[in-house]
Amino acid sequence: MEKILLTQALVSICMPACNAAQYILHAVDSVLSQSYPHFELVIVNDGSTDETKFLLDNLNDSRIKIIHTENKGQCAAANLAFRHSTGSLIKFMDADDLLSKDFIELQVKKLAGKTNQIIGASWKRFYRNINDSQPIIRNSVDESKPIDWLVLSMSGKQVMLQCALWLIPRQILEDSGLWDETLSLINDFEFFIRVILHADSISFVDDAIVYYRSGIEKSLSSIKSYEAAKSAFSSIEKGTNHLLKFESSNRVRQVVADSFQNFVFDFYPHFPALISAAENKVSALGGTNITFPSGGATKFVVGILGWKLTKRIKKILMKNNGAL
């Protein structure tokens, strides 16, 4: 098995950025402050209309490559960053997230020069600063075989496949293919299922932490338009097709059904045609046992009225500035 010499392994951090002026310098600083010295940061400004271009053009560091392009979407920008990269190891990273100081060093050491393994990490959600009360989420699935890890991680819940978690040997990406540029919302679901299934094994570093910023208005994950919902459905469909093609078993069919049911939970009562298509998928796959995720007053109301009626009531209340 070919190995990458640790002392020579260049890590390329590929960062698409669109209207990220409020956060991007923090993200860049978290990369430039890494304890691991052998990296390049490739930033693609995806047609930003805010101060992103100005901020990037004022960076002065030989380790940074900056490409300005017209707006083509996050996936196209990530692919362009990859094509301008030269590293044997690749990390994709959003322009509003942060890495712990020794993140890359720990992942490179864990990889130990292997070219057929992907290394994951821990993560912590934050809103304003990384020292808030959100817990660090570490991998809890003790499996190194990619299909086993995916199935167990997806069983009954939504798996976290956020892009900055992963250190990927370049050859795996050359074999799996790059980001699907037809997708926007949850594009990482399809991409990382496909990429992970092209690895021979997967491993994690508990002390490498991605600080995942949430609560950003107009972020991709917050968008609930029809186009966003359609992209989410397509990403789930494509990602789960990768799973079924790799292994058409009862356990895989179950997690695929769960994935479509979670789509229904997320988007109901909006977009009836997509909801119906997802429910048909669940039925064709044999159904699902997962329940609507809720807590507090919502959980109480769901127990009485059912989750669909509860969501309809919640939608009305939100329109009238109420809460449930």
Please give the model's pTM, rounded to 2 decimal places. Answer: 0.92
> Which residue in 117, 119, 115, 104 sits closest to 3, CA to CA?
115
Cα(17)–Cα(273) distance, rounded to whole angstroms? 32
The pLDDT score that the predictor gives to residue 322 is 57
Q: What is the DSSP string of 210-261?
A: EEEE---TT-GGG--SHHHHHHHHHHHHHHHHHHHHH--SHHHHHHHHHHHH
Q: Where are the domains of the chain?
A: 6-221, 222-319
**Predicted local distance difference test score (pLDDT) of residue 161:** 95
The answer for residues whose C-beta is within 8 angstroms of residue 124's C-beta and 6 or more apart is 130, 134, 135, 136, 137, 209, 210, 211, 212
List b or e across 211-234, with b for residues whose CB sees 16 or more CB atoms inside 10 angstroms.
bbbeeeeeebeeeeeeebbbbbbb
- Residues of the chain short of pLDDT 50, as ranges, are 1, 218, 220-222
pLDDT of residue 223: 56
Provide φ and ψ at 2, rounded to 5°: -65, 140
- Cα 300 from chain centroid? 31
Q: Which residue in 143, 127, 151, 123 sits closest to 135, CA to CA?
A: 123
SS percent in the chain: helix, strand, coil, step 5:
45, 20, 40
Rounded Cα distance between 100 and 103, Å, is 5
Q: Which residue has the tokens 């020069």?
A: 113
Alpha carbon distances (Å) from 187 to 183, 184, 191, 198: 6, 5, 6, 17
Which secondary-structure segment (H or E) carries 122?
A: strand 117-126
* Cα atoms found within 13 Å of the Cα of residue 294, Cβ hemisphere only: 19
Length of the chain: 324
60 contacts 32 by C-beta, under 8 angstroms: no
Which pLDDT belongs to residue 220? 46
Q: Could you tell me the strand order of the sheet in which 117-126 lies?
A: 98-99, 201-213, 117-126, 136-137
Residue-level pLDDT at 264: 97
Options 3.40.50.1370, 3.20.20.70, 3.30.565.10, 3.90.550.10; CATH of 6-221:
3.90.550.10
Tell me the angle at which helices 250-267 and 272-284 cross, rounded to the nearest 10 degrees.
160
| Residue 7: strand, helix, or coil | helix
Quote the Cα angle for 260-263-266, to 5°: 155
